[in-house]
Amino acid sequence: MSAYPVIRSANWLIGPETAPEAPRMVFEMECMRCDEASQASEEFEDVRDWAFRHVGRNPSHTGFREIIHRFWRARLLS
C-alpha cells in the first residue's frame, strides 16, 4: 500500500465553463425503445425535431433520453 502525503488542504469550486471561447452545450436524443439516436447538435431544436420524426415513423416509440454535454471548470478558491 502506497502513502501519499497531503501538503495542504484546498477548497475548490466547480461550475459551468463561462469563458467566451468555451464550447457550447451539446444535445442528443436517444429512443428508449430501440436505442436509435439523433446526431449531436448545439441546437436543442434539432434533436427535438429528430424525436418528433422518430415517433412519427414509430408510434410505439414514445420514450426518449436526453443527453447533454455541458462543459465545466474547477477553480481553486483562495
- Those residues with Cβ within 8 angstroms of residue 63's Cβ, 6 or more apart along the chain or in another chain: 31, 32, 33
Return the pLDDT at 10: 83
Q: Are strands 11-16 and 72-77 parallel, antiparallel or unpaired?
A: antiparallel
CB 63 within 8 A of CB 31: yes
Band (pLDDT 50/70/90 cuts) for residue 1 is low
Global pTM? Answer: 0.75
Helix (H) or strand (E) holding 57: helix 44-57
Q: In terms of pLDDT, which residue wins out, 78 or 42?
A: 42
**How confident is the model over 32-53, as a mean pLDDT?**
97
The set of cell numbers assigned to 31 is 429512443
**How confident is the model over 54-64, as a mean pLDDT?**
98
